[in-house]
Amino acid sequence: MATLLEKYWNMKISLDAGMKTAKPGPAQIWEYQELLYRIEVLQVCQMFLQSAPESVNTGDLLPHYQIMNAYIENLVLERRSAAECGDTAIKIRDTAYDNLRSIIDDYRKRFGSFSPGNDASRYGKEISMVCQTVLPAWVQYRQTCTYIKEENPQ
């Protein structure tokens, strides 16, 4: 089964090919820039997972966590504009946003007292769980801002 990043890459390739034969309209331009944004976010999160330090010393882990946490905070602050602005769309978007905020607040509480114990790989495992929880909620929120129709869903 393809990952979300792979699906987005395939969509990008398809859209790139389509743009060689026809000029995109405003809706396609809006969707394309959103697609590029999501690809970048997923790649950065992969980088956070791959670069998670293995240590039992919290001083070694803290800089990585601070950078990742700041990046995630930025995700909920940036690109809040949306193409659809009806009352129902705004309520759905606000609900998705509140859900995302709640998930972020939850992992922050857990990391407030984080200790790797004697397991040098525990931090990486915890960061992986954060990404596995935050990213689906973020994508759901982004879908309420700019809907991207999945081609060939699996």
Q: What local confidence, expressed as pLDDT, does residue 74 receive?
A: 93
**Rounded distance between C-alpha atoms, residue 13 and residue 18, angstroms:** 9
Residue 118's contacts (CB-CB under 8 Å, 6 or more residues apart) are 56
Q: What local confidence, expressed as pLDDT, does residue 83 receive?
A: 65
Q: What local confidence, expressed as pLDDT, does residue 153 receive?
A: 40
> How much is the pTM?
0.87
**Rounded distance between C-alpha atoms, residue 10 and residue 36, angstroms:** 12
Query: With 0-12 CB in 10 A as exposed, 13-18 as middle and 19+ as buried, what is 57?
Result: exposed
Q: What local confidence, expressed as pLDDT, does residue 78 receive?
A: 82
Task: State both tokens at 134.
Answer: 């935050």
Task: State both tokens at 46.
Answer: 């992969």
Query: With 0-12 CB in 10 A as exposed, 13-18 as middle and 19+ as buried, what is 68?
Result: buried
**Alpha helices, DSSP H, located in the chain:** 4-19, 26-50, 58-77, 87-112, 122-145
pLDDT in tens, 17-29: 888 888 888 888 8
CA angle in degrees (0–180, nearest 5) for 60-56-101 = 70
- Residue with tokens 């956070």, as numbered in its chain: 48
Q: What local confidence, expressed as pLDDT, does residue 154 receive?
A: 39
Cα four-point dihedral sign 120, 134, 77, 2: positive
pLDDT in tens, 115-130: 899 999 999 999 999 9
What DSSP assignment string belongs to 104-132? HHHHHHHHHT---TT-TTHHHHHHHHHHH
- The whole-number mean pLDDT for each consecutive block of 10 residues of the chain, a chain of 154 residues, reads 84 88 88 94 96 94 96 87 74 93 95 91 96 96 87 44
